[in-house]
Amino acid sequence: MLIDASTIPGWDRTADVIVAGFGMAGACAAIEASESGASVLIVEAAAGSGGTSAIATGHFYLGGGTPVQKACGFEDSPEDMAAYLMAASVDPEPERIALYAKSSVDHFAWLERQGIPFERSYFPSKAVAQPGTECLIWTGNEKVAPFRDVAHPAPRGHKVAVSDPETGGGRAMQVLTRRTEDLGVEALYGHRVTALVLEDGRVVGVRCLAAGQVTYLRAMGGVVLTTGGFGQNERLLSKHLPDLMSEHVVRIADANDLGQGIELGIAAGAATRHMDGAFISTYWYPPEKLINGIIVNSKGERFVPEDSYHARTAGQILAQPDRRAWLIVDSESFDWPLYGKSLGIDLVDGWEDVASMERDLGMPEGALQKTIADYSAAAAEGKDPLGKNPEWLRPFDDGPYAAFDLSFGSASYRAFTLGGLVVTLEGEVLREDGTTIEGLYAAGSCATNLAQEGLSYASGLCLGTASFFGRKTGASVACRAVTARSEN
């Protein structure tokens, strides 16, 4: 995957910046680089732009006091946003978090300037995604213990204004693709990067394969890898995330999420982080009334506040020794999960009393009965040992009862990879010793970022950070190229 420039027959094309991959990060890198005065060439393996970003719901995790937050009556600050992200992250990067939070309002304005539509509206219910064009929604654990005590909670999920919640990412990519075209950025579709070309240890270009033909493209400023995650790379999955190979897991990944950028970086000596990190979740709400129920393990014990973001709940289920869990509801909290049929969340059965349910689910005698009794007593006083938000607390004593199976291996889970190449804030790819690989940059899902694993994930972190750090990376490479040009 590495070629010395002295061995190639010559360069077919030259540009200041070559962007490998035309998803969210690639589009934003190309736009920023072009607006910074650099010539940009995008190479994309597929027949068109979009990648996995185009199949995303279209949430951008933004805060600090965006116009949408203010219009909807919510107070937020960069400090609160950063404090939340620091507390939620398993491996926080203070500088990266602070920069993202401080720049969030300006980044929202930049997205709107490109033409991405956002309403000044709020969706008040707890849901995976808004059913219509509503913009603002709670998409993380901001109101969940212990995070609500660390930072003032505020909703930060900003969804693109589309009526079909499955098309938000696609709409954003249409807008950004058109913007690159307006700027004169050329895209070579059907071109897969198969190697990096080096000169005196510096990355100076790429080798591409298109329709059986080999092409060499020179990058005067640098090569930006934005090729996505590795959700379709069986070798990397088996090594780092074997759970995603389960028949019960639906991988959210474009056909070209082959980890190619990650493998190219590794070949050049790059370090990686969080390769075992993934978003992996099962959607058991909405309807939100199901949150009034309780989630228990095979011992009949609760282990997670039920108002947690669904991926945090799923992460706690996966942390149980046998990965088994049930959502227990009474007659007041019973409803059918909206996504239950598509995700295979089965209704196990209904029971007139807790003792019978406990027995049929194979739990220790008296365990579930005690759990429900203790929970109901605390809920009657507006308290919960696990810190469940009071808005979801009510005594749990109105039979009959029912159980939905959330166990891994029974319910279906959706997942995508989160780890990748280690990069600086400007997108420079780093070796394990912290030195930079000259001429090589990365952003988006093939680079490490704020989204590291499901327990700390919030919807919108991927598109939010891919777009923001894609921009920073594009500007950084362009600056290098334009400066070098002016000196020659």
What is the chain's pLDDT, residue by residue, as a tens digit (488 residues)?
A: 899 999 999 999 999 999 999 999 999 999 999 999 999 999 999 999 999 999 999 999 999 999 999 999 999 999 999 999 999 999 999 999 999 999 999 999 999 999 999 999 999 999 999 999 999 999 999 999 999 999 999 999 999 999 988 899 999 999 999 999 999 999 999 999 999 999 999 999 999 999 999 999 999 999 999 999 999 999 999 999 999 999 999 999 999 999 999 999 999 999 999 999 999 999 999 999 999 999 999 999 999 999 999 999 999 999 999 999 999 999 999 988 887 666 678 899 999 999 999 999 999 999 999 999 999 999 999 999 999 999 999 998 778 999 999 999 999 999 999 999 999 999 999 999 999 999 999 999 999 989 899 998 999 999 999 999 999 999 999 988 877 776 66
CA-to-CA distance for 257 and 251, rounded, in angstroms? 10
Task: Provide the pLDDT for residue 289.
Answer: 92
Domain positions in the chain: 283-411
Query: Residues 157, 459: contact at Cβ < 8 Å?
Result: yes
Task: Provide the pLDDT for residue 482.
Answer: 77
Task: Provide the pLDDT for residue 361.
Answer: 97
Q: Give residue for tokens 């919807």.
A: 459
Cβ neighbours of residue 52 closer than 8 Å, sequence gap 6 or more: 23, 228, 229, 231, 252, 253, 254, 257, 416, 445
Q: Give me the sheet containing 326-330, strands edge to edge.
A: 294-296, 326-330, 401-405, 347-351
In the chain, DSSP finds a helix count (H) and a strand count (E) of 12, 21
Query: Got the DSSP string for 459-481?
Result: TTHHHHHHHHHHHHHHHHHHHHH
For 64, 141, 387, the CA distances from 149, given in Å and listed in that order, are 18, 11, 11
User: Beta-carbon neighbour count of residue 182 at 10 Å?
Assistant: 12
The length of the chain, given as a count of residues: 488
Fold designation for 283-411: Flavocytochrome C3; Chain A, domain 1 (3.90.700)
What percent of the chain is helix, strand and coil (3-state, nearest 5)? 35, 25, 45
Global pTM value? 0.96
> Six-digit token pair at 376?
């109901």
* Partners of residue 18 on adjacent β-strands: 41, 223
* Partners of residue 421 on adjacent β-strands: 272, 447
pLDDT tens-digit readout, 202-261: 999 999 999 999 999 999 999 999 999 999 999 999 999 999 999 999 999 999 999 999
Q: Identify the helix (H) or strand (E) that includes residue 27.
A: helix 24-35
> Six-digit token pair at 472?
């920073």
